[in-house]
Amino acid sequence: MSDNKTDIKWNKTYETGIEEIDEQHHILVNTLKSANELLTQEYSLENLQNITKDLLSYALYHFESEEELMQRYNYEEAYPKEYQNHMKQHRDFSGKVVEIRNALKAGNLIEKDELIEFLIHWLINHINHTDKKLGSFLQTQMSH
């Protein structure tokens, strides 16, 4: 049985109101759920490498989708502070996953719970405090 901190499932309260973003978040949530299950079954360097590689490439794709929407609707001009903060969070996250991957390469394996808790905490926090702001901005723009 998994404990709360490493357990995640999609919840309607995570919705930002923007279908494209919500679908990708849903995929990210499922990715973290599978990663936790896989590492619970078999904690190995190979699994850690595959999980972080797939996660990084999907996260980058997802960030690009959001950033493309920001550009299309001029988020930066409307909310420069929120825009800067949002971009920084995306960059910091990618940097952190790259750091974890470099450590793996050097033989320093991150603990399962440390990895999963970091990922879940980051994603939920980012969705609730950052993506939702973007979501309401986009909803307003799209309704015009």
The pair of structure tokens assigned to 32 is 């973290």
If the CB atoms of residues 22 and 131 are measured against Fe ion, the closer one turns out to be: 131
If the CB atoms of residues 17 and 105 are measured against Fe ion, the closer one turns out to be: 17
If the CB atoms of residues 21 and 100 are measured against Fe ion, the closer one turns out to be: 21
Q: Is 131 in the site for Fe ion (CB under 5 A)?
A: yes
Q: Which of 8, 55, 66, 100 binds Fe ion (CB under 5 A)?
A: 66
Are residues 6 and 15 in contact, defined by beta-carbon separation less than 8 angstroms?
Answer: no
Interface mask toward Fe ion for 26-65; x: CB under 5 A: ----------------------------------------
* Smallest distance, Fe ion to C-beta of residue 16, A: 9
For Fe ion, the binding residues (CB under 5 A) are 66, 131
